[in-house]
A and B are shown apart, each in its own frame.
Chain A
Amino acid sequence: DQQVKQNSPSLSVQEGRISILNCDYTNSMFDYFLWYKKYPAEGPTFLISISSIKDKNEDGRFTVFLNKSAKHLSLHIVPSQPGDSAVYFCAAKEWAGAQKLVFGQGTRLTINP
């Protein structure tokens, strides 16, 4: 049972344009959502998070939107740069217990010059 889903395995975007990565979840008890970025042969690195009581969080070129009624979140990157080419993981945090993160399958983003 996949609680966090990223349905697009890959995405290709022109440099300078907007990249939109999507994520869906099924568990209403998640209280935080996070995005991680991963380069080859490295561990994932934290990018941005959003609380379940918010609908938007912005950090520089990165903005995360949360639609609780649809159980959907998206990461917007604008403008996209070649260094943004990586695999992006969506993750959701359980509100209780060990606060484990549940990860989606990842989306490989390629920024074309």
Chain B
Amino acid sequence: NAGVTQTPKFRILKIGQSMTLQCAQDMNHNYMYWYRQDPGMGLKLIYYSVGAGITDKGEVPNGYNVSRSTTEDFPLRLELAAPSQTSVYFCAISSGLSSGANVLTFGAGSRLTVL
């Protein structure tokens, strides 16, 4: 997972609390993504960004917010945490070339539990 750093690795939240999951990259890639993985459900896209100052919703954006003020950082904000947000969160990056497979490089993940 070289190049993508996620913090924290683990966190337990109480219902209604807020927190920010951090994602930082050192590969100077324009495209950044946040996915969540639930058991048996694969990876679902929460938000993505194609460059600094540009963000857009993915498949499951409700309850989350993002910002992209720099190329390097793409934090994911959880407001008013709910048990349904218990999941493993993965940040990913890609060069976003218009041709090719757009291979994503993933971070190691952040495991969040909401009680």
Q: Which residues of A contact B (CB under 8 A)?
A: 4, 6, 9, 32, 34, 41-46, 49, 51, 89, 91, 93, 98-106
Closest to B106 in A: A43
By a CB distance below 8 angstroms, the chain A residues around B48 are 98, 100
Contact A34 B106 (CB under 8 A): no
Contact B43 A89 (CB under 8 A): yes
Contact A34 B101 (CB under 8 A): yes
Contact A103 B42 (CB under 8 A): yes
* Cα–Cα, bound, A21→B67 (Å): 37
How many residues of B sit at the interface, in one of the four size bands? 20 to 34
- Does B15 sit at the interface, judged by CB under 8 A? no
By a CB distance below 8 angstroms, the chain A residues around B109 are 41-43
* Cα–Cα, bound, A64→B33 (Å): 25
Interface string of B91-115 (1 = CB under 8 A from A): 0101010101111111111000000
* Cα–Cα, bound, A99→B32 (Å): 11
Closest to B44 in A: A103
Contact A46 B102 (CB under 8 A): no
Contact A43 B1 (CB under 8 A): yes
Contact B42 A105 (CB under 8 A): yes
Contact B102 A43 (CB under 8 A): no
- Does B13 sit at the interface, judged by CB under 8 A? no
* Cα–Cα, bound, A51→B33 (Å): 22
Set A6, A93, A105: member contacting B102, Cβ < 8 A: A93
* Cα–Cα, bound, A41→B1 (Å): 12
Answer whether A98 and B40 are a contact pair too, CB < 8 Å, given A32-B102, A43-B90: no
Contact A101 B31 (CB under 8 A): no
* Cα–Cα, bound, A4→B45 (Å): 13
